[in-house]
Structure 1
Amino acid sequence: MSDLTRSAPALPALPLWRILGDEGFRLFFPLCVLHGALWPFLWVAIDGLAMPLSGRVAPGIWHAHEMIVGCYGAALIGFLTTAVPEWTDTEPLRGRPLYALAAFWGVGRCVGLLGWDAAIGLAALADLAWMAALLAYIAGLSLRRRTDRLLAFMLWIALLIAAEMAARWGMLRGNADLAATGAYAAGFVFLGFLGIALARVTVPVTNLVLDPSEETSPFRPHPGRLNLSAGLVFVALAGEAFGLSDAVRGYLWIAAGAGFLDRVAENFVGRRFFRLEILGLALSAGFAGVGLMLIGASLLDAPIGPTAGLHMALMGGLGIGVLQVLSVAGLIHAGHSLPFPRGLRFAFLLIILAVLLRAGPDLGLFDHPFGAPYLASSLLWSAGLLVWLRLYRGYIGDAEHLRARGC
């Protein structure tokens, strides 16, 4: 057999720990999805939202905190440790630093799964450790590269640390109001992250959809509206912190919701608006906007409970937004490009149905399906995330892309 027809020797397989530790998205995107898919289902499957070791802290507070700080926190770590090095033209974190962040994050999640009141202090230290490390990492890059492009992210991480401290202190002291306030404040902080993330992601994604050759940039949004939604969330959070009247806070949250709906209008670029790459961005902003407006309306004495708006904004807006960011970054940073893989629409559909089934009973539109609160919603939510993982596991574990970079 000639050398031309002889097959090339097979390259040795890279170990899984090496692949996952190569960049933040490879490790933390699967952690985000697995936590978001399994934790809520296990809570519901055990006994409603009951948790085996929960005592002075209500299960509902554990649930809210874990979904916000746990699920969305993993997405935040993965996104920032992957995107920030690209924005600053620096080498990303790899190996031990990433696994150290994952270890701190994982301690909090193990405690949260069980609702382990006795270990709240340990979980608080672990969560504050990864948040502080993330802030120090971004601040260090900002100083080294002498750039102010990362200041907004640093501000919102600092606010997340403050919200986490309030939530954990409330848990430690058995103060349900403070714990709930801190947990939901963390959710609103993530909406701030969502606002600036959508501003960063929308322009390149829309231009890539409109011109796959990347020779032109037909989509150029008004720069004055770039951070409008995040800025209005910050103002509304300040209103909460200063204890303004219900009426004033209500109007501030309605304004923040309008800021996100403005992003929906900005996303409309003709018939290609209905491409999932753009539609997902609009759906995320739309659910966030409607949810914040419902929260504002409830403060203005509308016959709407606050939980409906919270789930529309934090489960819907943030959930769809996180899935969109994972979908875009999971392709681009793995060395691939748009369009999204076939079947991803199904994952988004399942998440949307889960949100509607969760918020519908709170709005008085219908009763919980099967007569079991949260069961149908948690099943659809888990299924949607697992569909995403099934579609993206090949991109996440693409060892050939690592070899092409000389890894």
Structure 2
Amino acid sequence: MAPIPRLRDYKGPALLSYGFRPFFLFGSLYAGLAILAWLPAFYGELELLTVFAPRDWHIHEMLYGYLPAVITGFLLTAVPNWTGRMPLQGWPLLVLVLAWAIGRIAVTASALIGWEAAALIDNAFLVLVAAAMGREIIRGKNWRNLKVLIALGVLSVGNIVFHVEAHVLGAADYGVRLGIAATMMLIMLVGGRIIPSFTRNWLVRENPGRLPASFGRFDVASMIAAGVALAMWVAAPDWSVTGAALIAAGVLQALRLARWAGERTWRDRLVLILHVAYAFVPLGFVLVGLAASGFLPASAGIHAWTGGAMGIMTLAVMSRASLGHTGRTLEATMVTQGIYLLLVTAALARVCAAIHPAWSDTLLHLAGGAWAGAFVGFALAYWQVFTRPRVTA
């Protein structure tokens, strides 16, 4: 994302001066702390005041709690660039942050307030974000980016379906797959824009030679194949034809990634981690495809997508955007690289836990500890980045 072109004469706390600041900070803190609560809840050592089963609370709060916070932080920073309008700051931004935080409390305390109230309070955040983004995009006449409202709309629908399913059936199913599919499409769309761009910029400056392929028909075809496969997975996850479509889409996404010259970015870890994160996209497609054909547990591929593609990609984008938009050097310090390593470890351990049940307890604790360490570590390491004014030359 390019620097925001204009700012209001803002005199309030630095934390509320840009959309990414509060949402990246509190979202990452929540991602880490929620896992520390979920592990004892999963093993029956902690009782949460939620109507959700421990598994569903964990899935919901990662998929419809953490991820919307990061997506919102990204959009609140990107949309002003797309439209040329002023970014959301101060009290309006605080309202969105509070709506997100109240939603997390409502879901976790839903046994006290009832599932209907929790669902309405929780989903209000996504509705408010969609309204805010739609207003800015329409007033800025940036019609081509209205598609982000589709992703937010699908997430909102998936969230409501999740709540209803959990109440009526005792466990969420379609709501989980719908949220994952919407987020994966968003990652492929945004990743396909920023990864080749950042890679090209760095290679031209630091390592001349082969450059990422430009967006073309192959990218369109691979995205269509992925969208069709994900739609089939949402509707019929255990159908062998779905499995074949997912594997084919995974192969196309792997080829798409290979066209971006990621192997040439080793010296810039801020760029390299984007390629590592995207590698979990095709891996997830293939593993979920194998699961549809009965060869693997479905959770292996699902966690390649959620813990790998979503977790690593969001942290990679947060770290890079936070440095760039606060005037700091775009460089991954040793602490940042350690955070990346923890998160990659968490993702791989969680995938392996699903594939190798005999080691699942050990690997689950390893994955949970590494995940919590990565996100809480990121929040602490970037605390001053989020809470202090932009660095000026």
What is the identity, as a one-letter code, of the residue corresponding to 1:275? D
Q: In the TM superposition, what is the alpha-carbon distance from 1:290 to its structure 2 partner?
A: 0.7
Measured in 1, the distance between the counterparts of 2:341 and 2:347 equals: 10
Task: Say if 1:330 and 1:396, in contact at 8 Å, map to a contact too.
Answer: yes
| Conserved? CA contact 2:283–2:301, under 8 Å | yes
Whether the aligned pair in 1 keeps the contact of 2:103 and 2:125 (CA below 8 Å) is no
- Which of 174, 181, 188 is the equivalent residue of 1:181? 174
Structure 1 residues without counterparts, runs of 5 or longer = 1-13
Tell me, yes or no, if the aligned pair for 2:297 and 2:354 is still in contact at 8 Å.
Answer: yes
TM-score, L = length of structure 2: 0.87
Name the CA shift for 1:338/1:347 in 2 (closer, same or farther; >3 Å). same
Q: Aligned partners of 1:250 and 1:149: how far apart in 2?
A: 33
Partner of 2:300: 308
Q: Given that residues 288 and 301 in structure 2 are in contact (C-alpha distance below 8 angstroms), is that contact kept between their aligned partners in structure 1?
A: yes
Matched, 1:376 2:370: no
1:52 and 1:115 mapped to 2: Cα distance? 13
Match of 1:262 among 255, 258, 266: 255
Q: CA deviation at 1:308?
A: 1.0
Contact 2:83 2:141 in 1 (8 A): no
Distance change >3 Å, CA 43–CA 243, structure 1 → 2 = closer
Per-residue deviation at 1:29? Answer: 0.2
1:235 aligned partner, one-letter code: V
1:284 deviates by 1.2
- Identify if the C-alpha distance between structure 1 residues 90 and 50 changes in structure 2 by more than 3 Å, giving closer, same or farther: farther
Match of 2:309 in 1: 317
Q: Alignment partner for residue 27 of structure 1, among 22, 44, 48?
A: 22
Q: Compared with structure 1, are the counterparts of its residues 47 and 138 closer, same or farther at alpha carbon in structure 2 (3 Å cutoff)? A: closer
* Alignment-derived partner of residue 166 in structure 2: 171
Alpha-carbon distance between aligned partners in 2 of 1:137 and 1:228, rounded to the nearest angstrom: 32
Superposed CA RMSD: 2.9
Provide the residue aligned with 2:97 in structure 1. 102
Q: Match of 2:333, SS?
A: coil
Task: Give the alignment of 1:5-404 within 5 angstroms.
Answer: 18-46=13-41, 48=43, 52-53=47-48, 57-113=52-108, 116=111, 118-173=113-168, 175-176=169-170, 179-212=172-205, 219=212, 221-226=214-219, 230-240=223-233, 243=236, 246-269=239-262, 271-273=264-266, 275-302=268-295, 304-364=296-356, 367-368=359-360, 370=362, 374-401=364-391
The whole-number CA distance in structure 2 between the counterparts of 1:226 and 1:273 is: 24
Q: TM-score, normalised by structure 1?
A: 0.84
User: In 2 relative to 1, CA 154–306 (structure 1 residues): closer, same or farther, beyond 3 Å?
Assistant: same
SS at the partner of 1:222?
coil
Cα pair 1:267 1:273 within 8 Å, conserved? no
Deviations 1:148-181 (A, max 9, x none): 33133122111111211211111232x135x232
Paired with 2:368 and 2:238, the residues of 1 have a C-alpha distance of 35
Aligned residues: 383
- Give the partner amino acid of 1:150: N
Larger radius of gyration: 1
Deviation at 1:329, TM superposition (A): 1.0
Give how far 1:50 is off: 6.4
Q: Distance in 2 between matches of 1:244 and 1:362?
A: 17
